[in-house]
Amino acid sequence: MDWLKTLLFNPDSIAHIILLYAIVIAAGVSLGKHKIAGISLGVACILFVGIVAGHFGFTANPRIIGFVQDFGLVLFVYSIGLQVGPSFFTSFKKGGMQMNLLAVGMVVLNILVALGCYYLFFDRSDSSSYPMLIGVLSGAVTNTPGLGAADEALQSLNYNGPDIATGYACAYPFAVLGVILIPLLVKWICKIKPEQEEQALDAKEKEEENQRRPVCQVLEMQNKGLDGKTILELRSILKREFICSRLLHDGNLVIPHKDTIIRYGDQLRIVSEESDVEALKTILGKEVQVEWDDYTVASEPLISRRIIITKSKLNGKTLGELHLGSIYNVTVTRVVRSGTELFASSGLVLQVGDRLSVVGSESSIKSVANRIGNEMKRLDTPNITTMFVGILLGIIVGSIPLNVPGMPTPLKLGIAGGPLIVAILIGRFGYKMGLVTYTKASAIYMIRELGISLFLASVGIKSGANFVETVVSGGGVIYMLSGLLITIIPVFVIAMFARLKWKFNYYHILGIVAGSCTNPPALAFANEQTSYNAPAVSYSTVYPLTMFLRILTAQILILAGCSAF
């Protein structure tokens, strides 16, 4: 039976460590799926199962736990950065700027309330009170990477007090409830009617979809002044980007390219942006109806197919650089990326995973498919090289010391901030470095969940031994009360301001609040309230900046505060 004793209780046994993590994570994920009053804690339950395991003496070598904790955190923040990178910079446009300003306001208010709780409730003669406050703050905004960044900053100061994860664990459950219940209170105070909010969302979505969706129309050329001009010359004269996918000249169907000459009376199938539709109609001629199926090109019927880019060498090239029209006599009318239709302009930068809508003969389209790949199996293979190059660069960036006057040690982005920033940049600009960033959503989600699970399990196991003692005799009630105030006061203020001052839709407010608190359970609850994706859109808009600020401010508060207090 020695083998069983070693398996269960030897902290240096690799088999014991793997078994411990497997049990903690499996049990935590299973418990996290259960809902109480429609609310579940999700992966956060892994933390509490880990605390229970640590409390009853099931632990592992501290150095191994530390490695697993840090590696899990890196995987988590890197996958988040890669996921939101493409939309991070565009999120600051129009309403996104206001949303991010609200998120910044939330971060500032959380810190101010936390400092107020420190002066009102904490024992300031105890040197561990202030670090514990930062743990409570991280739990109150359900920000695990912030907890990791704060813990890393404490290690640089040779901190040997109670584990701040205890404060995090005390505040976390109330944070989940607060971010869900306070917006419901705002809904009642402002007398918000869900059906009216959904009608407003529906009208706005239709308007935005019409504005960005490529529009197709068939025009008969009636401008004699443009007779004899090529398509390229027409684009230059009209100063508008458009695509002519089919041309009917004297009863003959042609697949036009940039040098094709347009004659008076020709009928053109034009694809353009919504804003250019009326202008093209006014300048070129009237709209007509044509049965294109009645015509063929060189004895072959004209067809339209969607072809996916799977060859990595095309990643980062513009559509114009492929010369598909001049070489294969086809026309690309649309590009679909992550479910969004893009206008197929010649300057559009292509990425692996883009789907091209191509019009031409069947033989020509087959040639185009061979040129750009169209092999779905290639997309099933994750780009491991890009991932670890990004992690490598992220660790380097996170290790660069930034000297800030008044701080005892240099500020660093750390293993939480560095990989996050690099992943965002790679997700947006990786193609310029020759890096293929396309990864299936399921693969990114798997990496993200694996990372956060390893991190939470490590934090729980490590802090479990002293958790009960700290809660009972170390101010557990104060941590819970402070965490509740840190959560509900900023959420109420920001939600009311967003509604009364900036007239935000209620479902956008739900997403902003959940994203500003980096609270996935709150997002899940918000998504259940409506069939529209407004909460998810708002959440993803504010999440990247919020995550960065949570990680950065956690370090600043530790490094600046530990010397000040």
Q: φ, ψ for residue 40 (rounded to 5)?
A: -125, 155
The tokens of 212 are what?
A: 């960005």
Q: What angle do CA 521, 525, 530 make, to 5 degrees?
A: 145
Alpha helices for 299-380 (secondary structure H):
319-322, 324-328, 362-372, 376-380
The tokens of 435 are what?
A: 């890096």
Cβ neighbours, 10 Å, residue 227? 14
Cβ neighbours, 10 Å, residue 434? 11
Query: 473-480: long-range contacts (C-beta < 8 A, 24 or more apart)?
Result: 474/132, 474/162, 474/166, 475/122, 475/123, 475/129, 475/132, 476/166, 476/170, 478/121, 478/122, 479/132, 479/136, 479/166, 479/167, 479/170, 479/171, 480/170, 480/171, 480/174
Q: How far apart are the first and last CA of the chain?
A: 53
Closest CA to 295 of 334, 250, 259, 265: 250
Which amino acid, residue 304?
A: S
The Cα 520–Cα 185 span in angstroms is 20
| Dmax (CA) of the chain | 96
Q: Judge whether 250 and 186 are in contact, CB under 8 Å.
A: no
The tokens of 411 are what?
A: 């500020």
The tokens of 341 are what?
A: 């239709």
Q: Cα–Cα distances in Å, from 380 out to 36, 376, 418, 430, 434? A: 37, 7, 28, 19, 19
The Cα 306–Cα 312 span in angstroms is 18
HSE (side-chain half, CA atoms, 13 Å) at 239: 0
The Cα 172–Cα 73 span in angstroms is 18
Which amino acid, residue 306?
A: R
The Cα 28–Cα 47 span in angstroms is 7
Owner of token pair 């068939």? 218
Closest CA to 267 of 252, 282, 277, 278: 252
Which amino acid, residue 389?
A: V
The tokens of 297 are what?
A: 């090109």
Q: At what angle do helices 506-516 and 476-500 cross, to 10 degrees?
A: 140
Closest CA to 293 of 283, 306, 284, 303: 303
Q: Judge whether 130 and 167 are in contact, CB under 8 Å.
A: no
Q: Judge whether 517 and 487 are in contact, CB under 8 Å.
A: yes
Closest CA to 138 of 559, 553, 542: 553
The Cα 235–Cα 242 span in angstroms is 7
Divide the 565 residues of the chain into consecutive groups of 10 and give the mean pLDDT of each group: 70 83 89 70 77 83 86 82 67 74 95 94 86 91 82 82 82 79 90 89 69 76 90 85 83 80 90 82 88 65 80 80 78 74 78 82 82 75 81 88 68 75 80 73 80 83 74 77 94 95 91 84 71 74 82 85 59
The Cα 555–Cα 542 span in angstroms is 20
Q: Judge whether 141 and 110 are in contact, CB under 8 Å.
A: yes
Q: What angle do CA 238, 243, 247 make, to 5 degrees?
A: 100
